[in-house]
């Protein structure tokens, strides 16, 4: 059988499973979505957001790109963020990276990979900002793991620097922004940091909403 046909067959079995539990499963699901979480994760096929968090359809609003980047000129990510924060009014935004990330690994190399180099360039910036700490780590694997963590941390701060997040913090005291790293070897999530609406950010990134 061609491999894609397996997916269509699995879909039929999945529908049956859901209907066996609740016959109105899809009727309820089609009504509306009220997810509490926005998930910004890596496109890597080994990090399925719903599976690793035990969430069901309807619970996570998801954006994925290579190496879970939050780039201020990325209209795709920004549109997802705006819709999640302003319309869906999510309570939590989660940036989830993962150890062994190919994007982060390639950013550490000098390989010319074409267009993807432009995207990974942002991770090289993270490296430069934390160069002192990273170059103090002799073991290559450990250095890569640390860069994965620092990359997540930087993307969390990038979110806090957006006008959407600052406005929601100012008017609605939400969302919390979380930085997590998924470990492919154990299946566990490593909870790295959380920013709350009272977080102080660098003055240069602040927007005024009072006038």
Note the residues at the interface with Zn ion (CB under 5 A): 42, 44, 101, 103
Task: Tell the smallest beta-carbon distance from residue 126 to Zn ion (Å).
Answer: 14
Task: Tell the smallest beta-carbon distance from residue 45 to Zn ion (Å).
Answer: 10
96 in active site: no
Task: Tell the smallest beta-carbon distance from residue 81 to Zn ion (Å).
Answer: 20
Options 17, 22, 28, 46, the catalytic residue? 46
46 in active site: yes
Q: Which of 45/208 has CB closer to Zn ion? A: 45
Query: For the sheet containing 189-195, what is the strand order?
Result: 60-65, 37-42, 92-98, 176-182, 189-195
Q: Which of 103/179 has CB closer to Zn ion? A: 103
**Parallel, antiparallel or unpaired: strands 176-182 and 189-195:** antiparallel
Q: Which of 108/164 has CB closer to Zn ion? A: 108
Alpha-helical segments (H) within the chain: 3-21, 25-31, 49-53, 75-82, 102-107, 116-129, 131-135, 140-160, 163-172
Options 101, 122, 145, 158, the catalytic residue? 101
CA–CA separation, 126 vs 188, rounded Å?
24
């Amino acid at each position: 059988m061609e491999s894609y046909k397996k997916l269509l067959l699995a879909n039929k079995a999945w529908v049956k499973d859901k209907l066996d539990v609740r016959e109105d499963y899809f009727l309820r699901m089609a009504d509306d979505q009220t997810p509490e979480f926005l998930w910004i994760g890596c496109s890597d096929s080994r990090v399925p957001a719903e599976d690793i968090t035990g969430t069901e359809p309807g619970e996570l609003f998801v954006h994925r790109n290579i190496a879970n980047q939050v780039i201020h000129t990325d209209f795709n990510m920004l549109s997802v963020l705006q819709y999640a924060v302003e319309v869906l009014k999510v309570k939590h935004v989660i940036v989830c990276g993962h150890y062994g990330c190919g994007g982060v690994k390639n950013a550490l190399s000098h390989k010319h990979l074409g267009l993807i180099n432009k995207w990974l360039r942002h991770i090289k910036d993270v490296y430069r900002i934390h160069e002192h700490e990273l170059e103090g780590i002799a073991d290559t694997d450990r250095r890569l793991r640390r860069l994965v963590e620092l990359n997540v941390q930087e993307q969390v701060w990038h979110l806090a620097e957006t006008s959407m997040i600052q406005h929601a913090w100012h008017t609605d005291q939400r969302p919390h922004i979380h930085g997590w790293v998924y470990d492919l070897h154990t299946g566990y999530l490593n909870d790295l940091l959380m920013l709350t609406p009272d977080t102080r950010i660098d003055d240069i990134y602040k927007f005024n909403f009072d006038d």
